Structure 1
């Protein structure tokens, strides 16, 4: 069952999580920062090859309208404003798959800490596969 999200209910600092493939094993993270002067929703994402950049909704959903989930920002209005300021301040920062990917960026904005569960899980899976491979080779 696919959940329908009403993007009109977004508040600045909320995170959108979008699948990068049909398998949904890898997710893309973007932060909603509010509407522009024309009422168009604006987002900031950290994208491979481009780094942290401001994008509009058409660009964010360029591969079709697919959302895995929306993670609301948790905090008061002042904290929300600080999160949006962090989001904007990081524009131009280069993308790095292991050290500063889209999930690192979104966590830095929402929690003030850079981390990526996807990278951690990927490293753990690689180590486990290596251990299993070594075990079977003996």
Structure 2
């Protein structure tokens, strides 16, 4: 059964992880940065072809309100403000699938370290398939 998330409980710096496909193998990461002057929740994401951009909730959930999980920011209030500042400062940075995708971006914001487990897992899976392919070709 799918877990229900109350977006009203989000705090600036929290990460939303959304499925990018029906199978859920690839996930999209975005950072909640707070509400605008009208009370609308605002997010920053790194999107292929667009780079790091600020988006509203209706744009972020344009394919429906599907969430894999919410990862709360784990630091104190000062660290949370620094994370939100990092999120906004990166707006305009170009998307790069291998070196700076949406997961790299979210990890940079939350941990101040750009890394992507999805890229690492993809590389590992590719290597494993190559080794298996070589084994079967003999």
Q: Is the TM-score greater than 0.5?
A: yes
Q: CA deviation at 1:110?
A: 0.1
SS in 1 for 2:100: coil
Deviations, residues 73-110 of structure 1 (Å, cap 9, x unaligned)? 00100000000000000000000000000000000000
Unpaired runs of 5+ in structure 1? none
Note if 1:90 corresponds to 2:85.
Answer: no
Deviations, residues 18-71 of structure 1 (Å, cap 9, x unaligned)? 000110000000000000000000000000000000000000000011000000
Corresponding residue of 1:17: 17
| TM-score, normalised relative to structure 2 | 1.00
Q: How many residues align?
A: 138
Unpaired runs of 5+ in structure 2? none
Corresponding residue of 2:52: 52
SS in 1 for 2:54: strand
SS in 1 for 2:25: coil
Q: How does 1:96-107 map to 2 (within 5 A)?
A: 96-107=96-107
SS in 1 for 2:106: helix
- Taking the aligned partners of 2:15 and 2:35, their CA distance within structure 1 comes to 15
- Taking the aligned partners of 1:86 and 1:15, their CA distance within structure 2 comes to 13
Q: How does 1:1-138 map to 2 (within 5 A)?
A: 1-138=1-138
Note the aligned Cα RMSD (angstroms): 0.2
SS in 1 for 2:98: coil
Deviations, residues 95-131 of structure 1 (Å, cap 9, x unaligned)? 0000000000000000000000000000000000000
SS in 2 for 1:59: helix
